[in-house]
Structure formats: C-alpha cells, structure tokens
Amino acid sequence: MSLRIIRPDLAVPVVVKPGQTAVDAPPPPEPLREPTVAELAVNFTGAMGRWIKAGVPVVSAEAYAARSAICSPCEHWDGRARLGLGKCKAPGCGCTSLKRWLATESCPLGKWPATPVHQAV
C-alpha cells in the first residue's frame, strides 16, 4: 500500500511507499517538455537526411491512416497548430502531420515504427 500526496506546487502527485516519509520519497518525474526551436531544426534535418538517403520513400495511404489514428488522440498532438498541419509536442518530435508520410520516421514515444525500406542494389 502506498500513500499519494497531492500538493498544488507539484505537477504530479508524490507516491510514498511503506517505511518512507514524504521527505524520503523520490522526486516526481519531470513533465515532458516541448522541443525547442533548435531541437526542431535538428530533428527536421535528421529526418530529411534519413528520408533522402533511403530514396524518399513514403508509406501507403493505409499506413498513413494508421499512424494518424494513433497520433490524433495523443495528448501531445495539437491538430490546430501550424496552419492546420498540426504539431507534436512530445520530446524528440515536434513534427507536423507530414512526418507520418515518411517511411523512414517513427514516433519518438514508440507509438508507431518506421516502415522497413528495401532499396534495390
């Protein structure tokens, strides 16, 4: 059994296990932080590099729809941002709905994988 302490100055409750005091309890996890402009630039450059190196592969319409079905209800997704292209606020992302078309890309939270790309030799 554990005790949950909810304090207005903390973003998440502190969980105190048996034998611990609130002072001994581990600190709550850091809230997820939206990527900075610099991180967005690095993420975009990396994504475009991988995509071009692989031969600019895109996923099927079915795969895009499956990715969209995962992203749309996600707590990090803001579908109204960036003139309707949307924006993912998850750390390591910051993408728009256009990223879902790139076969080389995956969700940084592990919600959908990159699609294997087979290149002719």
Kindly tell me if the per-residue pLDDT of 38 is higher than 80.
Answer: yes
* Contact yes or no for 100/59 (Cβ under 8 A): yes
pLDDT for 65 equals: 95
Question: Would strands 14-16 and 87-88 be described as parallel, antiparallel, or unpaired?
Answer: unpaired
Residue 34's pLDDT band (cuts 50, 70, 90): confident
Residue 105's pLDDT band (cuts 50, 70, 90): very high
Domains in the chain: boundaries: 1-31, 37-101
Question: Taking the model in full, what pTM does it have?
Answer: 0.66
Q: Which residue has the higher pLDDT, 17 or 13?
A: 17
- What is the torsion angle, in degrees rounded to the nearest 10, for the CA atoms of residue 31, residue 34, residue 37 and residue 38? 50
